[in-house]
Amino acid sequence: MAQVSTQEAAIRPVEVAQEIKPERHISWWHLVVYIFLAIFTITSIGPLIFSFISSFKSMSEVLIFPPTFFPRTWITTNYATILSNPLFLRWILNAFIYAAAAAALNVLFSGMAGYALSRLNFPGKNIIFLTTLGVMMIPATVTLIPKFLIVNNLHLVNTYGALILPAMAQPFSVFIMVQFMKGLPKELEESARIDGASIWRTFYQIILPQVKPALTAVAIITFQGAWNDFLWPLVALGTQDMYTLPLGLFFFKSAHFTEYNLLIASSMFNTIPMLILFFIFQRYFIEGAVSSGVKG
Amino acid sequence: MATEPVRSSLVSAPSLTAEGRQRLMRGRPKRLGRDTLTAYLFLTPYLFVLLVFLIFASLYGLGLSLFKVDIGFTTPEFVGFQNYQRLFEQLFTNPGLSLFWISMVNILKFVIVVVIGQTILALILALILQTTLFGRGIFRTIFYIPAITSSVATALIFLWLYNPDGLVNYLLSLVHISGPDWLNDPFWALPAIMLLNIWTTAASFMIYFMAALQDLPKEVLEASAIDGASRFQSFRYITVPLLRPTIFLVVALGTIGSFQMFDQAKFMTNGGPLNSTLTPLLEIYNAAFQDSHFGLAAAMSVLLFIVIFIVTIIQRRLIEPSTS
């Protein structure tokens, strides 16, 4: 507690008690807080809720002025049109393949790399770790065009490989894994080694289960990044049937430019899966995003 | 497991098999060699990505800027600093005609407004959540939702909201302001995108501040309250200085991110109207993939990187002078 000298405490005990109480219960402050809570709740989810409800409106109703909140007639043809488009479904599939593969591989490979960097001793360990830190600060701009040219030379343009390969092991994920694994007690490995377990078994059966939160966080961040990725698929993919969802939406937008009802409905396919994932794994989204800055 | 007291592993091991004893007897050097090989095997996928797509790509980008390259038309030609010369000539003779420098001016405006806006908003959101007594978790979830949406999905939604007959203008009309055609107005298009960005990114930076606020030493704040400081005083003289590292982090990350804004500019306005929303990354993309000037685009990337780097260093000096 605060260091209040005994003299001061003797002199002002009564005044202190009286001073603090009213300050903490001033209702106008709490009122301000509640008002802000309400405002920010509306601004945070208002656009999404409004769009979702409006995705059931017809094209003419979606842009009438003044706007209506609930549709006068609820129609589902927007979604029917979208879902009957095989290309659209292909886009969803591609996005899912990219996101799931990137997440699974990144968890595995970053876990392996993180394990090596945090629990094993070998020459070059520090260089690699420092390089990891350094590389995290390079903006994506610098590597965009070279990445394309590299992928082009590997004849991987317009394939899943172009998407998944650069994403299958990411410096930031390795960094998270190292931070989490560093904190585990050394005894884990020593007892495993004594019992004759190979390094792989030690990694897979002993260390990995200990860092499940980190693994989940990495999986979620990677999935989210890949699912929402626009620029790299734009650069690396060429034919419509390989588009991921954000890229497909871009194309969809130019095809149906004024049909806002369709556009809003189509955006839901990108948002709703992420929202579902978010509600289930909230903690990991939030903790994963923070661990980069705060712990580092 | 983490809280068990440290004990000698010999004592705590459940069984010391003959094989285990043999391994112990063999001594360290051999294990070190085995460790190294295994470590590098474990690292191989990551090293592949790190070396090829990050380090080699960065150096490649640097080198590429010294060439004139277009895919499939002519062979690459070493031109030294010509690409940079061209860009700087444009700067000194007629910047208004140079798409690259227009984009730099645009992005500077964008970065200043967005970084200041999202930092303040993130801090406000975090403070509100900190002071809330009930339902903190629910509100945190709600406030964080904009951060998990994709740039494309929100671009679609805001394309609709920013329509001249859309919700934004409707709300303005309620206070007797006649809103412009946001995305088609050369003056208002960039601010419209700024607002969209602040909305999305403030939510993700809010949690940095939340974590930092929770780590603040409570005794200092309580002491100041007992000594009679008002809320505002204790905020200004105690909380804010203690938050400096986090403020720097949010500002730096926000700056690096904002300088590379691409998705909304490409998706919503494609750099228009009249290049008012042209961003450097969009111009780099156009130079490379539409005009096929890969070398020039690489040079632009390098320049953008240098600008970001310098700005971040300046921010570090300004925000955390004691530790730099």
| CATH number of the domain enclosing A153 | 1.10.3720.10
Alpha helices in A120-170 (DSSP H): 125-135, 140-153, 160-167
Contact B152 A228 (CB under 8 A): yes
| A11 lies in the same domain as A114 | no
What's the total number of domains in chain A? Answer: 2
In tens, the pLDDT along B7-57 reads 444 444 455 566 556 555 554 444 556 778 888 999 999 999 999 999 999
What's the total number of domains in chain B? Answer: 1
User: ipTM score of the complex?
Assistant: 0.82
Asked if residue B114 lies in contact with residue B197, where contact means CB atoms within 8 angstroms, the answer is yes
Q: Is A41 on the interface with B (CB under 8 A)?
A: yes
B96–chain A nearest CA distance, Å: 23
- Domain of residue A254 covers 80-293
A231–chain B nearest CA distance, Å: 7
Helix (H) / strand (E) containing B78: strand B77-78
Give the chain A residue nearest B250 (alpha carbons): A293
Contact A260 B160 (CB under 8 A): yes
Distance, in Å, from the CA atom of B317 to the CA atom of A55, rounded to the nearest integer, reads: 48
| A102 lies in the same domain as A34 | no
Asked if residue A223 lies in contact with residue A100, where contact means CB atoms within 8 angstroms, the answer is yes
Q: Is B247 on the interface with A (CB under 8 A)?
A: no
Q: Is A150 on the interface with B (CB under 8 A)?
A: yes
- Domain of residue B272 covers 97-323
Please report residues of B whose CB lies closer than 8 A to that of A174: 46
Question: Does residue B116 lie in a domain region?
Answer: yes
Name which residue leads in pLDDT, B109 or B77: B109
Q: What are phi and psi of B78, to 5 degrees?
A: -75, 125
- DSSP letter assigned to residue B95: G
Which of B43, B66, B119 should be substituted to probe chain A, the one whose Cβ sees the most A Cβ atoms within 10 Å?
B43
Residue labelled with tokens 């055609």:
B181
Distance, in Å, from the CA atom of B145 to the CA atom of A48, rounded to the nearest integer, reads: 9
Q: Is B65 on the interface with A (CB under 8 A)?
A: no
Residues 96-115 of B with CB under 8 A from A: none
Contact B23 A193 (CB under 8 A): yes
Please report residues of B whose CB lies closer than 8 A to that of A55: none
| A274 lies in the same domain as A133 | yes
| Cis amide leading into B273 (omega within 30) | yes
Ordered mean pLDDT values, 10 residues apiece, chain A (296 residues): 50 48 62 89 93 91 86 90 92 95 95 90 90 88 92 92 93 91 83 82 82 90 94 93 93 90 93 93 78 48
Question: Does residue A228 lie in a domain region?
Answer: yes
Question: Does residue B72 lie in a domain region?
Answer: no
CATH code for position B157: 1.10.3720.10
Compare CB distances from A166 to B53, B208, B231 and report the shortest one's residue: B53
Q: Which two tokens stand for residue B120?
A: 């303040």
Please report residues of A whose CB lies closer than 8 A to that of B167: 50, 67
Contact B151 A29 (CB under 8 A): no
Q: What is the CA radius of gyration of chain B?
A: 27
| A167 lies in the same domain as A271 | yes
Length of chain A: 296
| A157 lies in the same domain as A211 | yes
Distance, in Å, from the CA atom of A88 to the CA atom of A241, rounded to the nearest integer, reads: 9
Q: How many CB atoms lie within 10 A of CB B52?
A: 17
In tens, the pLDDT along A166-197 reads 999 999 999 989 988 888 888 888 888 888 88
| A288 lies in the same domain as A148 | yes
